[in-house]
Structure 1
Amino acid sequence: MPADLAVIGLGPYGLPLAQAAVAAGIPTLGYRTGPETGSLSPAELRRMLARGFRPAARPAELGRVRTAVICAPTPRGADGGPDLGQVEAAARALAAHLRPHTTVILESPVLPGTTEEFLRPLLEEGSRLRAGRDFHLAYSPSRVDPGNRAFTPANTPKVIGGLTPACTESAAAFYGRLTDKVVRARGPREAETVQLLETNYRHVNIALVNEMAVLCHDLGVDLWDVIRCAETKPFGFQAFRPGPGVGGPSVPQDLAGHARRTLRMVELAQQVNSRMPRYVVQRAAALLNEHGKSARGARVLLLGVTYKADLADQQATPAQEVAIRLMELGAAVSYHDPHVPSWSVLDRPVPRADSLYEAAAEADLTILLQQHRTYDLQGLSVKAQLLLDTRGATPTGAAHRL
């Protein structure tokens, strides 16, 4: 079956798009750009293959589609900005086989100007075609929330910014097959900046509540009750909750390396959020000390080592730093996670608890880092000798909260 769509990059942005496309009846080709972190269960892969998904073995296959969407990961580079290495590899692979009238869309998180100043020259040079005249070029920020069952590609509006009005309309026609609503931006720079604003909004607000968590603990105030009350305000407030750190593929972007411009608020947010694993360990050591135990030699059980609840993805999970700092204090660290059968820290395997309740009862301290649905937190709070809840998920009074 010939493919209508090529998804280039099968990581955390590309796989959800490919799944949504085949679910909408669009024959889809998948092309990997590197060692990507996105994963499918065998059942999910079988469903996708049955619906029209096909992995591409050769770059030449990219030239047989009407729409190509580049979803390559852009991790933080040495200069603090996004590393465009996989985007470049994707562009070169596509450009060599790009045909006239193809619609090319970039979904990778990038800084404003990347579509026009970085991607466009690569495509034009490699294809000898001109963007806006011979092929359509646009940017659309990825709006993926892994594990969120309430918001899917079908009911999440897509923002489109094309190089020309015709480019915008061509990209909008494609996304109109996947979603109920398409929002047209003035151009690719505006669409890229939408992604910048949305990502930084999340990180800045998480940093605010993380700082509030530290302050409220020092003041003896129940932050979780504060948030519960504050979120009843029907305007001007959106509830965010603190945690042991911020993980996942979506890194904050402060425009570092981009015309020497920075966003001071984002820089501060990064500093606050990056300190949270250290703060969790400080709280853990203090709790042990209050109960007559030293961190050195203490048995510490970590619950949930993924970056998000009910997912197996460990990208940038704060659990790594928490475990490292506990080990540096001399603690004997073990873990439990229903989605992670094995886990290593600093290339050393961490013992996995087979029996959750027995492990919690034997551990000097249990730290809830991720609130997976399968965890019976009431039962755990009864079994655990000491329980530090970094997610505010346990019943009031059942554990020590962050």
Structure 2
Amino acid sequence: MSLSEKLKNHEARVGVIGLGYVGLPLVVEMAEAGFEVVGIDSDPRKVTEINEGRSYIGDVKTETLAALVKAGKISATTDPSILAELDTVSICVPTPLSKTKDPDVSYILSAVSSIKKHLKSGQLIVLESTTYPGTTDELIRTELESETFQSGKDFFLAFSPERIDPGNKTHGTRNTPKVVGGITPRCTELAVLLYSQFIKTVVPVSSARTAEMVKLLENTFRSVNIGLVNELASMCDTLGVDAYEVIDAAATKPFGFMPFYPGPGLGGHCIPIDPHYLAWKLKAHDFTARFIGLASEVNQKMPALVVEKVADGLNHHGRAVKGSRVLALGVAYKKDVSDMRESPALSVIHQLVERGASVSYHDPYVAEMVTEDGAMASVELSEETLRLTDCVVILTDHTEYDISWVVENSRLVVDTRNTTRGLEDRFGERIIKLGAPAGYSQPQVKLAESA
């Protein structure tokens, strides 16, 4: 039976390498469509959790995973030799940056090395990990091909960028359009056929390189626009204007404008990283991606700007950062998730610690964490905690936070997410908001005594 027939009949045995935020949701969607799916990961803990039907990813419900495992639709292993039994393999491994902002494709190369040892005729390989344009063609194809074993003929190779948005209740793997580009038209055709079995809309493009560029454009667009409004926040601080009011008023224009909002910096698995992949690739062509560099510069300065807001607020109340007790409210990179990858909160906390502050944190999704300053555990968010705190810094706008209650029981609040909107008239100078004038015209509030 041909691969096309197996895919149409859901009789193909499919596999996913990498069982994290991208890979596990993909495994579940494939299995729910009727495929027998094998997940492969080097982490034995993840493999054990999956095989016992327990989810460690917020977007995958344990009961859903458990039912699919019990039905024999999902299994997991650390043994790459299983690749020889699979008809399709999707690669969903991390693609971080090195300390010098160069692409680290070691996880991709490791996965491709395993695939090469077990590659068989007619197999479809799809890279989903975000990377620079040319990776699929120049790196993977070159590694897998031989004189007698060619892509598009003996095996099939494509790129289809992941578009996972952790915590998004509206758009998940199934209903987010999937871009697919193959090394050859036949590669594209088969990859489209695979994904169309469990994703509502599949968008074929002319090549793998085009598909790689699509993902980088998406996240560079966000990085540049967030950089713009982050700089706007600094402008508005200087000019005594509320940046959020400006943005919301501009957003009433029904065409030609899309609102973005300032914050403490960029976080997550894509936006802080992906543009650097494109910039790195362009350097080899003697091309400087100036927008990417400038946006990165602005966004990377935001944690320091937040720390200065804290210092200014404390100083206004006669306190120095050194010796002050600061509570970071939220450490995840976005609301209602536990994901801390590249979270700007970590940089804010580190800079405050370096300046001598005693920093604690509360996050309902992150019970404990290890930072460059040591291990920390989430503290109880109570009136007593707030009473003993000199400054609360709102870094993540988790839905469950009662911000009015937080402000009412705090002495000073630095808001980096505009969560205190509408509370300024009641609480005046207790609130210092990123991108807005400080309310220093009202009577001073006495801060907590030093311990």
Report the TM-score range of the alignment, normalised by the length of the smaller protein.
Answer: over 0.9
Give 1:236-315 correspondences, 5 Å limit.
236-250=256-270, 251=273, 252-253=275-276, 254-258=278-282, 259=284, 260-315=286-341
Q: Please report how far the alpha carbon of residue 16 of structure 1 lies from its aligned counterpart in structure 2 after TM superposition.
A: 2.6
Q: Please report how far the alpha carbon of residue 219 of structure 1 lies from its aligned counterpart in structure 2 after TM superposition.
A: 0.8
Q: Please report how far the alpha carbon of residue 257 of structure 1 lies from its aligned counterpart in structure 2 after TM superposition.
A: 4.9
Q: Residues 102 and 351 (structure 1 numbering): CA distance in 2 closer, same or farther, change over 3 Å?
A: closer
User: Secondary structure of the equivalent of 2:61?
Assistant: helix
Q: Please report how far the alpha carbon of residue 49 of structure 1 lies from its aligned counterpart in structure 2 after TM superposition.
A: 4.1
Q: TM-score if structure 1 supplies the norm length?
A: 0.94
Counterpart-to-counterpart distance in 2, 1:235 and 1:341: 43
Counterpart-to-counterpart distance in 2, 1:33 and 1:207: 36
Give 1:2-401 correspondences, 5 Å limit.
4-33=13-42, 39-40=56-57, 44-45=61-62, 47-51=64-68, 52-124=73-145, 129-250=149-270, 251=273, 252-253=275-276, 254-258=278-282, 259=284, 260-350=286-376, 352-396=378-422, 397=424, 399-401=431-433
- Give me the CA root mean square deviation: 2.3
Q: Please report how far the alpha carbon of residue 361 of structure 1 lies from its aligned counterpart in structure 2 after TM superposition.
A: 2.4
Runs of at least 5 residues in structure 2 that lack an aligned partner in the other structure? 1-10, 47-54, 435-451
User: Secondary structure of the equivalent of 1:288?
Assistant: helix
Q: Please report how far the alpha carbon of residue 324 of structure 1 lies from its aligned counterpart in structure 2 after TM superposition.
A: 1.0
Q: Which amino acid aligns with 2:353?
A: M
| Between 34-43 and 202-211, the greater mean CA deviation after superposition | 34-43
Residue deviations 1:111-167, cap 9 Å, x none? 111101001122225x96321111111111111111111112222111111111111
Residue pair 1:4, 1:28 contacting (<8 A) in 2 also: yes
Counterpart-to-counterpart distance in 2, 1:33 and 1:132: 29
Runs of at least 5 residues in structure 1 that lack an aligned partner in the other structure? none
Q: Which amino acid aligns with 1:303?
A: L
User: Secondary structure of the equivalent of 1:256?
Assistant: helix
Count of aligned residue pairs for this structure pair: 401
Q: Residues 78 and 354 (structure 1 numbering): CA distance in 2 closer, same or farther, change over 3 Å?
A: closer
| Between 70-79 and 18-27, the greater mean CA deviation after superposition | 18-27
Counterpart-to-counterpart distance in 2, 1:150 and 1:390: 25
Counterpart-to-counterpart distance in 2, 1:119 and 1:233: 46
Q: Which amino acid aligns with 2:262?
A: P
Q: Which amino acid aligns with 2:401?
A: Y
Counterpart-to-counterpart distance in 2, 1:347 and 1:327: 8
Q: Residues 364 and 14 (structure 1 numbering): CA distance in 2 closer, same or farther, change over 3 Å?
A: same
Residue deviations 1:295-350, cap 9 Å, x none? 11111000100112111111111111111111111111010001111123225123
Residue pair 1:157, 1:179 contacting (<8 A) in 2 also: yes
Counterpart-to-counterpart distance in 2, 1:193 and 1:176: 21
User: Secondary structure of the equivalent of 1:296?
Assistant: coil
Q: Residues 61 and 45 (structure 1 numbering): CA distance in 2 closer, same or farther, change over 3 Å?
A: farther
Q: Please report how far the alpha carbon of residue 4 of structure 1 lies from its aligned counterpart in structure 2 after TM superposition.
A: 2.2
Q: Please report how far the alpha carbon of residue 12 of structure 1 lies from its aligned counterpart in structure 2 after TM superposition.
A: 2.8
Q: TM-score if structure 2 supplies the norm length?
A: 0.84
Residue deviations 1:269-317, cap 9 Å, x none? 1111110000000011001111121111111000100112111111111
Q: Which amino acid aligns with 1:20?
A: E
Residue pair 1:336, 1:356 contacting (<8 A) in 2 also: no
User: Secondary structure of the equivalent of 1:350?
Assistant: strand
